Copies of this chain bind each other. A is one copy, B any other.
Amino acid sequence: MSDVKKVVLAYSGGLDTSVILKWLQDEYKCEVVTFTADIGQGEELEPAREKAKKFGVKEIFIDDLREEFVRDFVFPMFRANTIYEGEYLLGTSIARPLIAKRLIEIAKMTGADAISHGATGKGNDQVRFELGAYALNPEIKIIAPWREWDLLSREKLLAYAEKNGIPVEMKHKAGGSPYSMDANLLHISYEGRHLEDPAAEPEEDMWRWTVSPEKAPDAPEYIELEYENGDPVALNGKRLSPATMLAELNRLGGKHGIGRLDLVENRYVGMKSRGCYETPGGTIMLRAHRAIESITLDREVAHLKDDLMPRYASLIYNGYWWAPERVALQTLIDHTQSTVNGWVRVKLYKGNVIVVGRDSKTDSLFDPTIATFEDDKGAYNQADAGGFIKLNALRMRIAAKRKHR
């Protein structure tokens, strides 16, 4: 444990990473650099600076990464209509590669030889942090205290904190673990506590970002999203930066009870786990993106994307954002989005995201003269379908004849 000179810690300012900060100083006798990012989790960051200072940290990084997060991670992912296991919008997964990248950048700037994080040894996040870090700097040392130390129970952790003068909020002391939560501009997640019984319904007061559909407004709200190259660029006619767009969609979705999810997922490390998620803006974006693609994307390109999507989703879920196969898939996905331009109208109402219209002045492949049920004046020759069916059936007819022989 003695060969680390300086370590960059992903530091939230909360209890766990504060304990880690101290533990790193004690166990590794090394200098600690803290890095705290604003990725839209909705917490004040300045207290983290104060706390770090108290531990004698000299190099403190506090970065606003919200625009980069949405522009370079969230939006590219939504271009693929990404969903993991049919339900999960990957809100946690997509933030980790950015943190990993920034940790490595700061390590380079500060001359640190190691990084550290507060993810446990049971979860996916350790994998996402570390695969990213190794891909970006193969020589980096990684310290994952949860896999090393003996503070595995809540009690031991609290005891260590108290012994070392780390402030513990009342909620932690007052019996019972809190939910394990993670938040960023895309979502907030909940795990642990009585969610560990997958048969039990979550308590209403757990949810933080959305009202319940029951408490959402009785009047629906219509919004119009404009897309360019597969990304939403304007809301109700107003151009918004990526982070502002997502924040605004979160506000709208949250208001209308949109984007709650309760599921059991399969972790990369091998066990099933139950999680609850709120992804209000993302839920709107997913539906809207599919809608704009539905009139601007070629059928076979769309199907190719659908066939590849689960693989792409697993790559992100498992932490392979910085792996070459994810980049290769992204190249294909991004290439397909050049025609994904136009607008989508969506109705928001008590948990529902209802697409009610979509069009593209420049790229619509919807051809009303052909699709019509009315007389099409020869745009489509119905007799062609006979030959189409005959040849598509040929192999089956030959096989059936063989069988009946």
Q: Which residues of A contact B (CB under 8 A)?
A: 81, 85-87, 120-122, 126-127, 130-131, 134-139, 144, 146-148, 152-154, 177, 180, 191-193, 196-202, 213-214, 218, 220, 260, 262-266, 269-274, 290-291, 294-295, 298-304, 306-307, 310-311, 314, 320, 322-325, 327-329, 331-332, 335-336, 345, 347, 349-352, 354-359, 363-368, 370-376, 380-402, 404
Contacts and interface: CB of A to CB of B under 8 A. Distances in A.
A376 B134 CA distance: 20
A385 B391 contact: yes
Nearest to A325: B300
Contact of A393 (B135, B177, B200, B366): B135
Given A386-B384, A402-B364, A314 B303 contact: yes
B307 A307 contact: yes
A20 to B, nearest CB: 15
5 contacts: A87-B290, A192-B372, A213-B349, A266-B303, A299-B395
Contacts of A391: 269-270, 384-385, 388
A368 B197 contact: yes
A130 B272 contact: no
A85 to B, nearest CB: 6
Contact of A324 (B193, B300, B307, B352): B300
A134 B396 contact: yes
Nearest to A331: B335
Nearest to A385: B121
Identical subunits present: 4
B294 A264 contact: yes
Nearest to A397: B138
A63 to B, nearest CB: 23
Chain B CB within 10 A, most for which of A139, A272, A345, A394? A272
Given A121-B380, A134-B396, A385-B391, 17 more contacts: A85-B290, A122-B382, A126-B389, A131-B392, A135-B393, A138-B398, A198-B366, A213-B350, A263-B294, A264-B358, A298-B323, A298-B395, A300-B320, A300-B323, A328-B336, A364-B402, A387-B390
Contacts of A263: 291, 294, 355
Q: Which of A201, A307, A373 counts the most chain B CB atoms within 10 A? A: A373
Given A137-B400, A335-B328, A357 B199 contact: yes
Contact of A365 (B127, B136, B402): B402
Interface centre among A87, A303, A331, A388 (most CB of B within 10 A): A388
A263 B293 CA distance: 11
